[in-house]
Structure 1
């Protein structure tokens, strides 16, 4: 029953991320934290890596590779902060900080601010994303907000490339920190079929969002992710 409930959350998250470009962790992680906290962050990061590779393969030619590179450069120090949070400090404080930053950016975007994927913005977003993604598995909103005005394939492919490399870096950081074990690998393997089903179901939703709904979806999911982080912090 536990695996079935966790798998349902992963499948829905995979469908959302396949359609919008991110959302797997922010949809699934709060439920996984309640069902079995051991499913975070390593199993979720493994699933996120696999999903990102599938998404990148589907829309490879649309990725902004320059933007991905700068965001990944910023992610490196963010990963160090996330590993520190997992190993030494209560991760909830990092989660709260990331959530507040994301909610502020969403609010400004709704009012008047339209962030762009400039080099400084990508570096900062990478740092915030790396910290949040490593400590809590939710790292998509900071980078996604920079591409909120891009067309759907651009958003999905760019985030897919960023998540594929970034999640691998986070897993490597947690491995060095002693957080990756056999139980985490088994849990990821059990949940992988659910992730694949969700990804396959995302194609019809992807075509719908590409009709002008990408930006509202990005803003809504970013705000939802921040609220999910606050919820995780409250439960920690």
Structure 2
């Protein structure tokens, strides 16, 4: 297996930016990284993104673990199990072009839902539903954050970040296991994910000073806007590439 080093450096820069965003906001790694990595090469999605998502999930949870809403994490993970099965089916059965379009549409829907003015609280029924959607999108496109993040958007910064990090840590590991059982995980995907970890560490460490700014609501619109633009580019590639 040949590693294209220029491609790796570009992918690493994307992951570093995604880690900076997620470390500061609580989610955003996959929203930023998945569309851009798929534009570089579809082989970077979803397994390498799931590898780095698992790593940053642990790092983020450990840093602010005292703020974790464990009951909420449990309900969301319960919903993620059937969602993971459906997401695995999509990865195994869809053609590359259809998969690319599917990833783009998932990102766009997540971005649009994140702008919804309705205030939905993280109650068990809502968490179950969000967990199912996160399982599908997290496994098929490595984007599992927005459905659950939307429920916690009105909570404090540390609570959002710690709860989402715990959900990502367990949920992405479940998604990787589901893809492995479906035969969609190979050595190349795992190696690509491992090669991205140093870039992730740099971005995560840089996110520390940014957290107070994000807690005042300064960055979220920019994250969603970047994600929407990246998803539109990916959609264009899938439809016309």
Which of 125, 128, 152 is the matching residue for 1:123? 128
Cα distance change on mapping 1:31 and 1:103 into 2, 3 Å: closer
Return the offset for 1:92.
4.8
Q: TM-score, normalised by structure 1?
A: 0.90
Cα distance change on mapping 1:4 and 1:99 into 2, 3 Å: closer
State the partner residue of 1:82: 87
**Is 2:60 the counterpart of 1:60?**
no
Cα distance change on mapping 1:231 and 1:81 into 2, 3 Å: farther
Cα distance change on mapping 1:143 and 1:11 into 2, 3 Å: same
**Is 2:107 the counterpart of 1:102?**
no
Supply the distance in 2 between the matched residues of 1:121 and 1:37 (Cα, whole angstroms). 32
State the partner residue of 2:167: 162
Q: TM-score, normalised by structure 2?
A: 0.88
State the partner residue of 1:133: 138
Query: How many residue pairs were aligned?
Result: 230
Which ranges in structure 2 are unaligned for 5 or more consecutive residues? 1-5
Residue 141 of structure 1 contacts residue 222 of structure 1 at CA under 8 Å; is this kept in 2? no
Return the offset for 1:93.
6.1
Supply the distance in 2 between the matched residues of 1:93 and 1:130 (Cα, whole angstroms). 18
Residue 18 of structure 2 contacts residue 29 of structure 2 at CA under 8 Å; is this kept in 1? yes
Which ranges in structure 1 are unaligned for 5 or more consecutive residues? none
Cα distance change on mapping 1:83 and 1:4 into 2, 3 Å: same
Q: CA RMSD in A?
A: 2.0
Supply the distance in 2 between the matched residues of 1:219 and 1:69 (Cα, whole angstroms). 28
Supply the distance in 2 between the matched residues of 1:209 and 1:200 (Cα, whole angstroms). 15
**Is 2:91 the counterpart of 1:91?**
no
Supply the distance in 2 between the matched residues of 1:29 and 1:93 (Cα, whole angstroms). 12
